[in-house]
Copies of this chain bind each other. A is one copy, B any other.
Amino acid sequence: MEDIFRHIEQHQQEAIDDLIRLCRLPSVSAEGRAIEETAELVSEMLRSLGFRSQILPKADGHPVVYGELAGASTEKTILFYNHYDVQPAEPLDLWSSSPFELALRDDKLYARGVCDNKGNIAARLAAIRAFQSLRGQVPLSLKFCIEGDEEIGSPGIEPFVEERRELLAADACLWEGGGVNWQGQPQITLGAKGLLYLEMEARGANRDAHSSYATVLPNPAWRLIWALATLKDPHENILIDGFYKRVRANNSQEKAAVKAMPAEEAHRARSLGLDGFLKGVSGLDYRLRHLFEPTCNIDGLNSGYQGPGTKTVLPARATAKLEFRLVPNQEPEEVLDKLRRHLHQKGYSDVEVRCLSAERPARTPIDHPFVGLVCEAARQVYSQEPIIIPSMAGTGPLHPFVETLGLPTADIGVGYPESCMHAPDENIRLADLLRSAKHIAAVLERFATQQP
């Protein structure tokens, strides 16, 4: 493998060039920007490596870039799941450089999407190029499934995968992309939370009114605040009846894995300028809470006048972006039903709830042999003990790959704890890009030669 690793290092500029091309396109799925161009570019990059690639429509949302490439062994196939879309770059004034132009500063690469998820596409292509250059071909068959809606909750990915079970059939899946922890240990993530992302809207009069009418006119901002305040209390208890009912207990392997994870909260608190965390958690409690607890988060609030100084106005509408992260075995549809019933019972039937995105939680069992193989490859590349994360705190469309395709699925990638994913100055370290490419290469090699 050393020749492969050296090739990846010596050809780092090719990976950077891939990223320059990928990050230049502002493929913000929430705004539907540059989607077609980015899908075309990704498909073309796959074709240039010999993949047969197609851009497949998805019934709901943006197209998926599919690619397949036969390897030295065609008896085994690894499926890569990635996405070419990115989060919005706002607030733009907090970026140190233009978000859609790759910038290299202090051995770090900055751009919206450079970590989440374009850097991982680049790392995987770098590993493939190394095999092709040195061995003429990759060691086993590969498939890519690169979607364009991950950041808006992957609408329609479940039926898309269901309908293409044969096309996407594989033996294991390397998923989107994780990264190293504060100690530099590679993290191998096996699960994801589910998501229910809603917009809530309260309406009052048919137009903004002079605020002196607050005596008699309903104010939708108050209605929204009162309704939201019934959902979660200041002790972080989610108050929707039955919300926690389907949360399954975590098994001993999951808890042991979390226990083996190093403490990260001191680093994170410092980085975020905080003295501590919700409910004062630290150590194992912090990790158990972060990885295994469902959430109810406000992502946005919008009503009335928000400019400088004063405007005495009674707003005609108020909206909130409300998000739940769900853990096995919570179902987004069921939580939405319970929320609607809760609002009705509390007297807020007037507050409209629109579902913008829903995903189900999923986990690959820790004791699957593929997990051991990915860990072995990580030890070889990083010379550090890998960290198994039973479930990430975040969400991704893991469910169709784990459950519908039945694949053991591991998430490894180019990030590090200060990658600022979804935030201004998103970045990766160049060294992490190369290490992730090597890890991918090592997994491919081991999986190809592993005894069945």
Q: Residues of A with Cβ closer than 8 Å to B? A: 29-31, 87-88, 90-91, 94, 151-153, 193, 195, 197, 204-219, 221-222, 224-226, 228-229, 232-234, 265, 272-274, 277-278, 281, 286, 289-291, 293, 295-315, 318-321, 323, 325, 347, 356-357, 392-395, 420-424
Listed by A's residue number, 28 A-B pairs whose Cβ atoms lie within 8 Å are A31-B308, A87-B313, A91-B208, A151-B310, A153-B310, A206-B272, A209-B422, A210-B423, A211-B297, A211-B325, A212-B393, A212-B395, A213-B290, A215-B393, A217-B274, A218-B278, A222-B232, A226-B234, A228-B229, A234-B347, A299-B315, A300-B304, A300-B306, A310-B357, A311-B321, A312-B323, A312-B422, A313-B422
Min Cβ gap A153→B in Å is 6
In addition to A206-B274, A212-B325, A299-B310, 8 A-B residue pairs with Cβ atoms within 8 Å of each other are A31-B309, A88-B311, A195-B312, A218-B274, A225-B225, A300-B315, A301-B306, A309-B356
A306 in complex: contacting residue of B29, B302, B305, B392, CB < 8 Å: B302
A424 CB contacts on chain B under 8 angstroms: 207-208
A219 CB contacts on chain B under 8 angstroms: 297-298
Min Cβ gap A240→B in Å is 15
Report Cα–Cα, A206/B281, bound state, in Å. 19
A301 in complex: contacting residue of B31, B221, B293, B296, CB < 8 Å: B221
Assess whether B272 is in contact with A214, with CB atoms less than 8 Å apart: no
Assess whether B272 is in contact with A209, with CB atoms less than 8 Å apart: yes
Assess whether A229 is in contact with B226, with CB atoms less than 8 Å apart: yes
Report Cα–Cα, A221/B310, bound state, in Å. 20
Assess whether B228 is in contact with A225, with CB atoms less than 8 Å apart: yes
A226 CB contacts on chain B under 8 angstroms: 229, 233-234
A207 CB contacts on chain B under 8 angstroms: 94, 272, 420, 423-424
Report Cα–Cα, A295/B271, bound state, in Å. 42
**Residue from A273, A274, A304, A312 having most chain B Cβ neighbours under 10 A:** A312
Report Cα–Cα, A224/B357, bound state, in Å. 25
Assess whether B216 is in contact with A422, with CB atoms less than 8 Å apart: no
A320 CB contacts on chain B under 8 angstroms: 221
A394 CB contacts on chain B under 8 angstroms: 210, 212, 312
Assess whether A212 is in contact with B31, with CB atoms less than 8 Å apart: no
Report Cα–Cα, A277/B215, bound state, in Å. 9
Min Cβ gap A52→B in Å is 32
A289 CB contacts on chain B under 8 angstroms: 215-216
Smallest CB-CB A-B distances: 8 pairs: A206-B273, A214-B297, A229-B229, A205-B272, A30-B309, A300-B304, A212-B394, A221-B298
A314 CB contacts on chain B under 8 angstroms: 297, 299
A91 CB contacts on chain B under 8 angstroms: 208
Min Cβ gap A35→B in Å is 13
Residue of B nearest to A208 (CB): B423
Report Cα–Cα, A234/B351, bound state, in Å. 14
Assess whether A308 is in contact with B392, with CB atoms less than 8 Å apart: no
Assess whether A214 is in contact with B304, with CB atoms less than 8 Å apart: no
Q: A153-B310, A311-B88 are in contact. Are A216 and B302 (CB under 8 A)?
A: no
Assess whether A293 is in contact with B215, with CB atoms less than 8 Å apart: yes
Residue of B nearest to A216 (CB): B277
Report Cα–Cα, A197/B312, bound state, in Å. 8
A302 CB contacts on chain B under 8 angstroms: 301-302, 306
A319 CB contacts on chain B under 8 angstroms: 306
Residue of B nearest to A393 (CB): B212
A310 in complex: contacting residue of B197, B306, B309, B318, CB < 8 Å: B197
A87 CB contacts on chain B under 8 angstroms: 311-313
A213 CB contacts on chain B under 8 angstroms: 290, 393
A204 CB contacts on chain B under 8 angstroms: 274
Assess whether A299 is in contact with B311, with CB atoms less than 8 Å apart: yes
Report Cα–Cα, A232/B221, bound state, in Å. 12
